[in-house]
Chain A
Amino acid sequence: MFKVSKATVLEITQAIKNREVTAEGVLDGFYENIALKDKEINAFIAITKDLAYQKAKEIDLKITNGEKVGKLAGVPIAIKDNINILDERMTCGSKILADFKSPYNATVIERLAAEDAIFIGKTNMDEFAMGSSCETSYFGPTKNPVNLEYIPGGSSGGSAAAVAADFAPVALGSDTGGSIRQPAALCGVYGLKPTYGAVSRYGLTAFASSLDQIGPFAKSAADTAFIFDIISGHDIKDSTSAELDFNISSELENFNIKGLKIGLPTKFFGEGLNREVKNTVLAKIEELKNKGAEIKELEMPHADYAIAAYYILAPSEASSNLSRFDGVKYGFRAENIKNLMEEYTKTRAEGFGDEVKRRIMIGTYALSSGYYDAYYLKAQKMRTLIKEDYDKAFEAVDVIITPTTPDTAFKLGEKTGAPLAMYLSDIYTISINLAGIPALSMPIGNDSKNLPIGMQIIAPHFQESRILGLASFMERML
């Protein structure tokens, strides 16, 4: 019998088309895994069984009737719970949206549905995508499937865990400062943060609009590219989405390692980096060198300022974006209120969790009268300098390689009391969002505790094909 658990997207679609298995059968297999293991892992906030089986039956009927089916026919996909699926719950991991049901589909959902993908469930996340461990969710933390004492990373921890635990072959997440790449690294799967503008944000709940991007989690470079091709491209509903078409799946084989110039920013390999992570990444780079790549060291003079700039800019945008949650039009509303002002202040005080309040407070402070120039404007200028560092680097190299995270997964509860320590776990991913460029985290081994290690491949704007070409080469040749 066809075994669904470890199957890739391509294997599933082929098995379904060859009638080795039905779409319903595939779904049964994954839901069985979920029933068996998700009580402990807690990767899902909501299971979308009715929607999933309805779609599976449609696909099976089409195949029986010999009708044409989409490129993702019968492939289950887990969706982060800040992306809208019509008439399904969308909580963003927050009490304030605990009972919210989406009145429309996100563009990425429309595109996946048009290719006959099956939405298997909504995945757990740090509240409003604010966190690096999945512990700020109102619905309890997700645990790392590799070792349940450890966090899966965040904010898209549920999506990373779902793929790592064989609950779905692929998943969608969102990445504002590392929220796809960091959990991908810590759970041992692939996770791509596309170029800003490559994927429509319509229907993604806004956290920091100038940084947010939706991207895929998968078990291979080919599957990552395949999902990216489907969800990317211009959308008239997102004025920041670029007028480009992507078909990188077909370009993966064209990749040539000979003469590829790889940049290593020395600052990303210095103090604070775990020795095992460092050695594993450097060993991979040595292998690439042996295959014909040229290695160049990079200075990146403003790298040390990325986190400081981010923790002004992202909370500032968030404080503005989250002002819509006021208990008027949707979501939770506090009880026993005297007047309209209390309706706002009590609803928000009771509806938001600790980390969300903290970021709203930082952002509101940074934007408040008298502080704008010192904080927000200063951080925006720093953002320019950080982007210029990358522009300059890409004049000399084709890709940049770094560790995805300074360390492997940490234990549940280890950093919850220290917000700043938690923020610093995104030190290698944050500057990529500031510059708006694409980056992938791919699994490259385990440490002595058997926890996964991720390597980050970064390329210039819209060069996702270069990143996945290299990742696919490494899968095949190293």
Chain B
Amino acid sequence: MSLTKQDIEHVAKLARLDLDETEIKKFTLQLGDILEYVEKLQEVKTGNTMPMLHSLDSGNILRSDKNTPSIDHTQIMKNAPEAQGEFFKVKKVIE
């Protein structure tokens, strides 16, 4: 399956990746190759087969709904690229 430059630009936008021209060119070819390879899945009729979401039959094992201490707020904020008081700081959202 061949992809166009426009396909790659569209997907990059969805993925929030600012790719440069060299990358776009390279990924157009490489993703095309990979998609061509996975195309072989179409050889197998899978009509009524149930899709597999999970390898275990047990489903989710939930803990009881009790209050327990969680990670300290200041501990979390240590990794913030930019912070103001208790908040993460980012560029203005509404121009």
Give the nearest-CB partner of A97 in chain B: B79
Give the nearest-CB partner of A327 in chain B: B81
User: CB of A312 within 8 A of chain B?
Assistant: yes
User: Which 9 pairs from chain A and chain B are nearest by CB?
Assistant: A436-B55, A380-B51, A330-B79, A345-B18, A333-B81, A381-B46, A236-B63, A349-B18, A383-B52
User: CB of A48 within 8 A of chain B?
Assistant: no
For A332, what are the chain B residues with a Cβ–Cβ distance below 8 Å?
A: 81
Contact: B34 with A311, CB < 8 Å? yes
Interchain residue pairs with CB less than 8 A apart (9) = A100-B79, A197-B58, A319-B15, A349-B17, A349-B20, A357-B17, A364-B15, A378-B41, A420-B34
Contact: B79 with A358, CB < 8 Å? no
Contact: A329 with B88, CB < 8 Å? yes
**Most interface-central of B52, B58, B88 (chain A CB within 10 A):** B52
Looking at chain A's contact residues, is the secondary structure mostly helix, strand, loop, or mixed?
Answer: helix
Give the nearest-CB partner of B58 in chain A: A242
User: CB of A295 within 8 A of chain B?
Assistant: no
Name the interface residues of B32-68: CB closer than 8 Å to any CB of A.
33-35, 37-44, 46, 49-56, 58, 60-63
Give the nearest-CB partner of B62 in chain A: A239
Pick from B18, B35, B71, B95: contact of A342, CB under 8 Å? B18
How close is B84's CB to chain A, nearest CB, in angstroms? 13
Give the B-binding residues of A (Cβ under 8 A).
100-101, 103-104, 196-197, 210, 234, 236-237, 239-243, 302, 304-305, 307-309, 311-312, 319, 323, 326-333, 337-346, 348-349, 352, 357-358, 360-362, 364-365, 368, 375, 377-385, 387, 419-420, 423, 434-437, 461
A237 to B72, CA, bound (A): 17
Contact: A385 with B49, CB < 8 Å? yes
Contact: A323 with B16, CB < 8 Å? yes
Contact: B75 with A103, CB < 8 Å? yes
Tell me the count of chain B residues lying within 8 A, CB to CB, of chain A. Answer: 56
How close is A124's CB to chain B, nearest CB, in angstroms? 21
Known A-B contacts A305-B41, A361-B17; A340 and B75 likewise in contact (beta carbons under 8 Å): no
A41 to B62, CA, bound (A): 43
Pick from A100, A104, A423, A436: contact of B71, CB under 8 Å? A104
Give the nearest-CB partner of A326 in chain B: B16
How close is A138's CB to chain B, nearest CB, in angstroms? 17
Contact: A312 with B38, CB < 8 Å? yes
Contact: B17 with A331, CB < 8 Å? no
How close is A44's CB to chain B, nearest CB, in angstroms? 22
Contact: A381 with B53, CB < 8 Å? no
How close is B2's CB to chain A, nearest CB, in angstroms? 13
Pick from B19, B56, B80: contact of A197, CB under 8 Å? B56
Contact: B61 with A101, CB < 8 Å? no
A-B contacts besides A331-B81, A419-B34, 4 pairs, CB < 8 Å: A101-B79, A328-B90, A329-B76, A381-B49
Contact: A101 with B40, CB < 8 Å? no
A307 to B37, CA, bound (A): 9
Known A-B contacts A357-B19, A362-B31; A384 and B79 likewise in contact (beta carbons under 8 Å): no
For B17, what are the chain A residues with a Cβ–Cβ distance below 8 Å?
A: 345, 348-349, 352, 357, 360-361
How close is B59's CB to chain A, nearest CB, in angstroms? 9
A437 to B55, CA, bound (A): 8
How close is B77's CB to chain A, nearest CB, in angstroms? 9
